[in-house]
C-alpha cells in the first residue's frame, strides 16, 4: 500500500470523501451537500443473501398452500446457519433448534445428523467446552454455492428473458460466487484463539486497514476472540513499532510494516522471522504476487505476510484522452506532452498531480522517478526488468544520487511542476488523488489503494473513466510499477505464550477469503493471484486485472525503494533537497550534490557505530 498522510491515532476519517469505518461511502454532490451511497460490499452481500430469502419465502409459500406440507428442518437450519455466518452473528444450539420449525427432539436429532455428516462445525465458547456455537462447515458452504448456481440456471432457463444481457443475469442468486476460481466466504477457526485480553494489532490508518476495522465483528467471529486495533499515521506507526521493540514484552501481537522498513526492522529485531512462528507453507507463498512476497525477505528469510500489495500507477482520464485524440502515455516525454495539452489554469484545470510535499513524500517520488530512468538508489545486481535485492544485506551500500539518471529524474520533476496545481509543493499521498477524483486534473500518480476515492464515488468525473498504467519510462528504461504496501508481521519480543495465536490470526487476516472480503468492502489492494482472478473481484474494478497483467509482465518491482536500514533517512534527505530545487532555491545539480553528501555522511556514521 502506499502510505499516506493518514489520520492520527484513533482517527476514523481519511482526508477526502470516504468515511471508511461507517460501511458507507460519503461523497459530495456538486452543490456541496453530503450524499450517501451504498458501498460495494453491502450490494454484494444483499445479492448473496437473495437466494436465502428466496428459499425461506418459497418454503413458507408451500406451507401456506399445502396443509400436508411439513417444514424441512435440514433446509431451515442450513439457511439459518449460512445467513448468520454471512451477517457475522453467533448461532447457538437453542437458536438453531428454534429456526428448524420442528419439535425440540426432532431438531436435536437432525442437528446431530448434520454434524455427523460434516455439515455443521461446533466451536467451544468457554474453556470448559460445555457451551458452543454452531457454524456452517466448508462442506455446507460449498454445497450451498453449488445449489445457488443450479437455481440461477434453472430460473434463467424457465423464467429468464431471451434477450436479457449476461451482465444482468450474472448477479442473480449470488451467481458470481459460482464462477470458476471463486473464493468462498471466510470460515471460522475450528477452535477459538486462546489469547489473554484478545488480539492486539497495530496498523496504518489507511483505507484497507480501516476496512478491516469495519469488519472487526466478523473477524472476531472467525477467530473467536476480541480484536483491538490501533491505527497510526505513517510516521507515527514507524515510531511506535521501534518504541514497541524496546519494551520488555510487546504491546502488540501483530504489526503492520511498510515494505521499505523490512531491512531496518529485521536488523533491529523489531520483527520475528516468520519461520520461527509458523509453517511458511501454510501461507501458500506461490499465490502472492512475486514482488510482494520477495519484498518481505531479509537475509533470505520472510519477516511478514503481504497484507496489501499496491503498486504506484499512473491514473489517467480515458474520456479526456479519447476526446483529445491523445494516446495513453508510455514514456515520460509522453506524460509531459499530455500534461501540457490538458493544463488550463485559467479554468482551474491542471495536467497532473503527484507527491511533491517536502520530506518523505517527495523523497518517495524521487526514488521512483529514478527507477523510471532505469536507476536504483543503491548498486544492485541486474535481473529481469530491473534489479534484484537478494544481496542487500551482505554489506553497506553507498547510495548513488548525483549521477546522470539522477539529473534526468530531477529535470523531469521540474517539468512536471509546470503543469501541476498551484498547491503541488504541499501535495502528498491522499491529496494527489483528491483533485483527480474531483475532476481538477487529467492525470495523477497514485497507489491503487487510493482508487476508491473515484471508483466508489459515482459523482466523480473519473468514475468509470480511469485507465491504469505502470510508470511511463524515461529514455530506454523498461516500464515498472513500483510496489508499495504493507506486510503484517509478529513482533520479535512478543510473549512466547501468544505466538501460536498470533500466527493463526496472521494466516486468517492474509488469507484469500479475507483479502476478497477487503475488496468487497472497498479496498483496491490485493497481494494474491487467486484473489485477483476471482470473477467477483474482477468485476469490482479494472485495477485487479491490470495489476495481474503487470505482474505477469514482470513490471511489478520493489527495488525502486530498496529495504535497506537507512531508507527512511534517504527519503527524508532527498525530499528536502529536491523540495528546495522545486522552489527555485537551488539548481538541480546542487540538489543532487547536497543529497549525495548528506546520504554519504549518514552511511559513514552507521559504519562507525
Cell output for 527: 497481494
Cell output for 297: 525477505
Does 234 have pLDDT greater than 70? yes
**What is the maximum span of the chain, computed from C-alpha positions, in angstroms?**
91
Q: What does the alpha-carbon distance between residue 413 and residue 56 come to, in Å, rounded to a whole number?
A: 61
Is residue 373 within 8 Å of 408, Cβ to Cβ? yes
Residue range 261-267: mean pLDDT, rounded: 94
Is residue 417 within 8 Å of 582, Cβ to Cβ? yes
* Residue 494: Cβ within 10 Å count: 23
Please state, rounded to an integer, the average pLDDT across all residues of the chain.
Answer: 83
Q: Which helix (H) or strand (E) holds 231?
A: strand 227-232
At residue 350 the predicted structure's pLDDT band, cuts being 50, 70 and 90, is very high
Question: Which of 357, 355, 23, 354 minimizes the C-alpha distance to 207?
Answer: 23
Q: What does the alpha-carbon distance between residue 342 and residue 419 come to, in Å, rounded to a whole number?
A: 9
CA distances from 160 to 43, 44, 52, 56, 170 (A): 22, 21, 20, 21, 12
At residue 288 the predicted structure's pLDDT band, cuts being 50, 70 and 90, is very high
Is residue 384 within 8 Å of 581, Cβ to Cβ? no
Cell output for 164: 436479457
**What pLDDT does residue 24 have?**
34
Question: Which of 246, 84, 203, 60 minimizes the C-alpha distance to 523?
Answer: 203
Does 396 have pLDDT greater than 80? no
Choice between 87 and 468, residue whose per-residue pLDDT is larger: 468
**What pLDDT does residue 156 have?**
59
CA distances from 229 to 9, 262, 465, 517 (A): 10, 21, 35, 18
Q: Using CB atoms within 10 Å of the CB of residue 527, give its burial: 0 to 12 exposed, 13 to 18 middle, 19+ buried.
A: buried
**What pLDDT does residue 18 have?**
33
At residue 482 the predicted structure's pLDDT band, cuts being 50, 70 and 90, is very high
pTM of the predicted model as reported, rounded to 2 decimal places = 0.70
- Scan for cell 456452517, then name that residue: 136
- Percent of the chain residues topping a pLDDT of 70: 82
Q: Pseudo-torsion of CA 477, 479, 484, 490, nearest 10°?
A: -80
**What pLDDT does residue 155 have?**
67
Give 506's contacts (C-beta < 8 A, 6+ positions apart): 254, 277, 278, 305, 488, 489, 490
Choice between 533 and 574, residue whose per-residue pLDDT is larger: 574
**What pLDDT does residue 43 have?**
42
The class level of CATH for 25-40+192-309+485-548 reads alpha beta
Q: Using CB atoms within 10 Å of the CB of residue 532, give its burial: 0 to 12 exposed, 13 to 18 middle, 19+ buried.
A: buried
Q: Within the chain, which residue ranges are assigned CATH 1.10.10.10?
A: 42-178
Residue 266: helix, strand or coil by DSSP?
helix
Does 510 have pLDDT greater than 70? yes
Q: Using CB atoms within 10 Å of the CB of residue 214, give its burial: 0 to 12 exposed, 13 to 18 middle, 19+ buried.
A: buried
Q: Which helix (H) or strand (E) holds 307?
A: strand 305-317
Q: Using CB atoms within 10 Å of the CB of residue 347, give its burial: 0 to 12 exposed, 13 to 18 middle, 19+ buried.
A: exposed
Residue range 193-222: mean pLDDT, rounded: 90
Considering the domain 42-178 in this protein, what is its CATH number? 1.10.10.10
At residue 69 the predicted structure's pLDDT band, cuts being 50, 70 and 90, is low
- Percent of the chain residues topping a pLDDT of 90: 53
- Scan for cell 491529496, then name that residue: 431
Question: Which of 206, 207, 244, 560 minimizes the C-alpha distance to 373?
Answer: 560
CA distances from 537 to 393, 401, 508, 515, 596 (A): 37, 40, 19, 10, 44
**What pLDDT does residue 66 have?**
63
Q: Which helix (H) or strand (E) holds 332?
A: helix 332-342
**What pLDDT does residue 262 have?**
94
Instruction: Give pLDDT tens digits for 416-453.
Output: 999 999 999 999 888 999 999 999 999 999 999 999 99
Three-class DSSP labels, 438-466 = CCCEEEEEEEHHHCHHHHCCCCCCCCCCE
Does 336 have pLDDT greater than 70? yes
Q: Within the chain, which residue ranges are assigned CATH 3.40.190.10?
A: 25-40+192-309+485-548, 310-480+559-608
Q: Which helix (H) or strand (E) holds 382?
A: strand 381-383
Does 609 have pLDDT greater than 90? no
Give 299's contacts (C-beta < 8 A, 6+ positions apart): 266, 393
CA distances from 496 to 275, 473, 547, 593 (A): 15, 48, 39, 48
Q: For domain 310-480+559-608, which architecture applies?
A: 3-Layer(aba) Sandwich (3.40)
Q: What does the alpha-carbon distance between residue 442 and residue 343 come to, in Å, rounded to a whole number?
A: 8
Give 125's contacts (C-beta < 8 A, 6+ positions apart): 131, 132, 133, 192
Q: Which helix (H) or strand (E) holds 481?
A: strand 481-489
Instruction: Annotate 129-153 with DSSP letters as a single string.
Output: -SSEEEEE-HHHHHHHHHHHHHHHH
Amino acid at each position: 500500500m502506499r502510505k499516506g498522510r493518514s489520520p492520527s491515532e484513533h482517527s476514523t476519517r481519511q482526508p477526502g470523501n470516504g468515511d471508511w469505518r461507517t460501511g458507507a461511502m460519503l461523497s459530495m454532490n456538486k452543490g456541496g451537500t453530503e450524499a450517501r451511497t451504498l458501498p460495494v460490499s453491502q450490494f454484494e452481500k444483499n445479492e448473496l443473501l437473495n437466494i436465502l430469502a428466496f428459499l425461506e419465502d418459497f418454503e413458507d409459500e408451500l406451507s401456506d398452500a399445502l396443509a400436508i406440507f411439513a417444514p424441512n428442518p435440514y433446509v431451515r437450519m442450513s439457511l439459518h446457519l449460512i445467513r448468520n455466518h454471512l451477517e457475522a452473528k453467533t448461532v447457538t444450539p437453542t437458536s438453531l433448534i428454534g429456526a428448524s420449525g420442528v419439535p425440540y427432539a426432532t431438531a436435536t436429532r437432525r442437528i446431530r445428523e448434520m454434524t455427523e455428516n460434516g455439515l455443521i462445525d461446533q466451536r467451544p465458547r468457554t474453556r470448559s467446552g460445555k457451551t458452543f456455537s454452531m457454524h456452517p462447515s466448508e462442506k455446507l458452504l460449498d454445497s450451498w454455492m453449488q445449489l445457488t448456481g443450479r437455481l440461477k440456471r434453472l430460473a434463467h432457463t424457465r423464467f429468464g428473458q431471451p434477450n436479457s444481457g449476461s451482465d444482468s443475469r450474472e448477479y442473480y442468486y449470488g451467481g458470481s460466487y459460482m464462477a470458476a476460481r471463486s473464493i468462498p466466504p471466510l470460515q471460522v477457526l475450528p477452535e477459538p484463539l486462546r489469547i489473554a485480553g484478545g488480539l492486539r494489532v497495530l496498523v496504518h490508518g489507511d483505507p484497507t486497514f480501516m476496512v478491516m476495522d469495519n469488519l472487526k465483528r466478523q473477524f472476531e467471529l472467525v477467530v473467536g476472540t476480541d480484536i483491538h486495533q490501533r491505527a497510526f499515521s505513517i510516521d507515527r506507526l514507524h515510531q511506535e513499532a521501534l518504541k514497541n521493540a524496546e519494551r520488555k514484552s510487546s504491546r502488540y501481537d501483530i504489526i503492520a510494516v511498510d515494505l521499505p522498513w523490512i531491512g531496518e526492522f529485521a536488523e533491529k529485531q523489531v520483527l520475528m522471522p516468520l519461520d520461527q512462528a509458523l509453517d511458511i507453507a501454510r501461507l501458500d507463498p506461490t499465490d502472492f504476487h512475486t514482488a510482494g512476497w520477495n519484498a518481505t525477505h531479509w537475509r533470505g528469510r520472510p519477516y511478514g505476510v503481504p497484507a496489501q500489495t499496491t503498486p504506484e500507477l499512473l491514473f489517467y482520464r480515458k474520456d479526456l484522452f479519447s476526446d483529445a485524440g491523445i494516446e495513453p502515455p508510455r514514456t515520460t516525454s509522453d506524460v509531459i506532452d499530455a500534461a501540457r495539452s490538458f493544463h488550463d489554469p485559467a479554468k482551474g484545470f491542471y495536467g497532473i498531480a503527484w507527491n511533491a510535499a517536502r520530506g518523505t513524500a517527495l523523497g518517495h517520488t524521487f526514488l521512483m522517478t529514478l527507477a523510471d530512468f532505469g536507476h536504483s538508489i543503491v548498486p544492485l545486481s541486474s535481473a529481469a526488468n530491473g534489479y534484484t535485492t537478494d544481496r542487500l544485506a551482505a554489506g553497506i551500500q553507498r547510495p548513488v544520487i548525483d549521477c546522470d539518471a539522477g539529473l534526468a529524474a530531477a529535470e523531469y520533476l521540474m517539468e512536471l511542476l509546470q503543469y501541476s496545481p498551484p498547491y503541488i509543493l504541499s501535495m502528498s499521498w491522499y491529496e494527489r488523488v483528491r483533485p483527480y477524483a474531483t475532476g481538477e486534473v487529467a492525470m495523477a500518480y497514485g497507489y491503487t489503494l487510493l482508487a476508491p476515492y473515484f471508483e466508489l464515488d459515482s459523482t466523480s468525473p473519473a468514475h468509470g473513466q480511469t485507465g491504469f498504467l505502470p510508470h511511463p519510462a524515461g529514455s530506454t528504461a523498461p516500464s515498472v510499477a513500483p510496489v508499495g504496501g504493507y506486510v503484517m508481521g509478529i513482533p520479535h519480543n512478543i510473549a512466547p505464550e501468544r505466538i501460536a495465536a498470533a500466527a493463526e490470526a496472521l494466516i486468517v487476516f492474509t488469507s484469500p477469503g479475507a483479502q476478497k472480503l477487503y475488496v468487497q468492502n472497498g479496498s483496491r489492494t490485493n497481494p494474491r493471484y487467486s484473489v485477483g482472478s476471482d470473477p467477483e473481484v474482477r468485476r469490482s474494478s479494472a485495477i485487479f486485472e491490470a495489476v495481474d497483467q503487470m505482474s505477469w509482465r514482470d513490471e511489478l518491482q520493489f527495488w525502486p525503494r530498496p529495504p535497506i536500514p537507512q531508507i527512511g533517512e534517504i527519503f527524508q534527505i532527498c525530499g528536502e533537497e529536491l523540495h528546495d530545487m522545486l522552489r527555485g532555491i537551488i539548481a538541480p545539480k546542487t540538489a543532487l550534490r547536497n543529497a549525495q553528501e548528506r546520504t554519504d555522511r549518514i552511511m559513514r556514521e552507521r559504519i562507525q557505530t
